[in-house]
Structure 1
């Protein structure tokens, strides 16, 4: 199914499903990159474990979050508050260990650094210079305490959304008494799906870690030795996971000031810039000065 999003960009979406790359190819979608056959071999279905989520915003968003002491839905037309998976270098190293172990390989050289080049693994954000990063546990705790009567919220498979070069897998979080998501499957804790949640960790089997491939993965079938070689540049789709918290009009996901100050950092605005007026991208120097002055004003 097709629709236009709030930014007037056409997207193909599948409600209540997380469709793998191979499943999307069976949907007979007109797409420039999805069906390319000349992509060099790369690590497929590498399992990443994320324990943190991030939310990036511009200067006005930053000021609003500290004024409200929390996060609200971005507009009256959207009932969702969006966060992205946030990965550390250790998370990537751990995923590489799991990948090599699955091949029974004793290779010690870094492999994934050549392939984890999509926006899913970058430090910048197209949504602004100010990035708030929380553990998944604390966000679910705050949400449950404030909107779920102290009970744990529910996580459901929400959508697969396909753009020109991007595959988005979304998870929706909501109180148990909100029934509009009942038709969506519960997010699994284990299994062979695209992603799931277990004990404070979202696991994700990444199928397309780069949007531009400049290397080829080579596996020796005799001794399972793995190495990487240069390859002619090829463009492809890339995938990532986002978490959407259901927010009713007027709801604010409150976070105390000290925690907000500890959880915010500055980052580059990556391309394409998705900031909306009156927000504008800032240099790192400008962003650092704004954040320093904000922190100083709060003692």
Structure 2
């Protein structure tokens, strides 16, 4: 266990080379107000999701930079990573619900079971983002193909278990992706294809066993009628990027994989950028696309 401050001066407790379960973290000698709570009502644990898509969210300046470069680069010289988060769809959630219910009663079809994940408040299941209003969504399989073709000299990228990071109310599991000739990650375990781990990669999808799908427990998870706050967990994929590298994606493909999203607080955009309303973001995107189409016609 080690501590550090990130680019936003927020303190992180992190565990290198391992993805620690919620139970593992509770066993550690960590002073943490939420992990130590004993009055959290029972909730579905280890809900397994299979997620085929990832997303990268940015602000207006990032949007313009991505189209100028026809691709994605590392956000700053201090970081070697290009970050993507799991893009969880309604179908992903429905499949996870069915998988969870079948694990409880394999012989039952559960046709009449009402959805239950929709009641969870974890940011992992919400559309909003603190990182901006412009979201690019691609399949992880496509992204790995582009990365391998451009930076891996004909070889496949390597996926590894990188870190577990603990914040005040958040657990982040990081997967690192790197070219085979980048040796600084050799001591990190390979990401599993199957098994009992927190997450892995298999057949074009990232599987993730979500252990804490809410940060507030309401509805049938009330404890003495009070809303209970707790940690929530999620998974991010960090692509290793050297200075000057750009992960190129065809501009037409970028257009088709771009949409606007609500901003969520606290805002994690770097000043002077701020979060926009959906109407403002829609107007900017319409103007930006029109400008790019006009430039393409002139060329």
TM-score (norm 1): 0.94
Find the aligned partners of 1:131 and 1:282 in 2 and give their Cα distance: 13
Gaps of 5+ in 1: 218-227
Contact 1:216/1:230 (CA < 8 Å) preserved in 2?
no
Q: What is the number of residues matched between the two proteins?
A: 288
Q: Deviations over 1:130-158 (max 9, x none)?
A: 00000001100000000001221000000
Task: Please identify which structure carries the higher strand content.
Answer: 1
Superposed, 1:287-298 pairs within 5 Å as 287-298=281-292
Contact 1:127/1:269 (CA < 8 Å) preserved in 2?
yes
Give 1:108's match in structure 2, choosing from 113, 120, 135: 113
Find the aligned partners of 1:99 and 1:72 in 2 and give their Cα distance: 38
TM-score (norm 2): 0.94
**Match in the other structure for 2:251:** 257
Gaps of 5+ in 2: 294-299
Report how far residue 277 of structure 1 moved. 1.4
Find the aligned partners of 1:50 and 1:34 in 2 and give their Cα distance: 27
Superposed, 1:13-24 pairs within 5 Å as 13-24=14-25
Superposed, 1:152-171 pairs within 5 Å as 152-171=156-175
Q: Is 1:75 equivalent to 2:37 in the alignment?
A: no
Contact 1:52/1:85 (CA < 8 Å) preserved in 2?
yes
Superposed, 1:51-62 pairs within 5 Å as 51-62=52-63
RMSD: 1.4
**Match in the other structure for 2:296:** none
Find the aligned partners of 1:43 and 1:262 in 2 and give their Cα distance: 36
* SS of aligned partner of 1:66: helix
Contact 1:53/1:84 (CA < 8 Å) preserved in 2?
yes
Q: Deviations over 1:215-234 (max 9, x none)?
A: 336xxxxxxxxxx9995310
Contact 1:213/1:231 (CA < 8 Å) preserved in 2?
no
Find the aligned partners of 1:167 and 1:249 in 2 and give their Cα distance: 28
* SS of aligned partner of 1:216: helix
Superposed, 1:33-44 pairs within 5 Å as 33-44=34-45
Contact 1:54/1:85 (CA < 8 Å) preserved in 2?
yes
Task: Please identify which structure carries the higher helix content.
Answer: 2
Q: Deviations over 1:239-282 (max 9, x none)?
A: 00000000000000011110010011001111111010121111
Q: Is 1:247 equivalent to 2:270 in the alignment?
A: no
Q: Is 1:65 equivalent to 2:69 in the alignment?
A: no
Find the aligned partners of 1:231 and 1:119 in 2 and give their Cα distance: 23
